[in-house]
Amino acid sequence: MAIEIERKFLLQSFDVTLATNSSRIVQGYICSDTDKTVRIRIKKEKGFITIKGKSDEEGLARYEWEKEIPLDEAEALLKLCSGGVIDKIRYEVVAGKHTYEVDVFEKENQGLIIAEVELSEKNETFEKPIWVGEEVTGDPKYYNAMLMKKPFSQW
């Protein structure tokens, strides 16, 4: 079973020159309840389907299964997603031995910037760069699936 362990942080701004890589991501949700999500994503002209389970009590870890699917199938499945799509630019920033994924949201979530770092275990130490802000790990309103239901522009 694949377990995703990650920490999330808010950013007030982001210097894109820190990034080693970037890509546009468009994603939607076929299912997005508190116990599970089924996500369709297009990233770098590739399609993906992802199933995630309910987060643990701390909001740090949850089951995640992801598979690449043909781009045309991902485009068709996005049309089945309820509530529209999340549109964002993802930047990768190396900090110590980890890579932060910094999502700069667009459209209804414009103005929201979230940095995530994936860990191999819950208590793993990691470098927290000076540009990383308040931790929001485990706060459901910052989950992408929830941002579909209540976008940042409506807060």
CA angle 69, 150, 62 (to 5 degrees): 50
Active-site residue, 29 included: yes
- CA-closest candidate to residue 63, choices 5, 117, 134: 5
Single out the catalytic residue among 29, 91, 142, 143: 29
Cα 66 to Cα 146: distance, rounded to the nearest angstrom: 19
Cβ(66)–Cβ(49) below 8 Å: yes
Task: Cite the beta strand spans of the chain per DSSP E.
Answer: 3-10, 21-32, 36-43, 46-53, 61-69, 86-95, 98-105, 113-119
Positions marked catalytic: 29
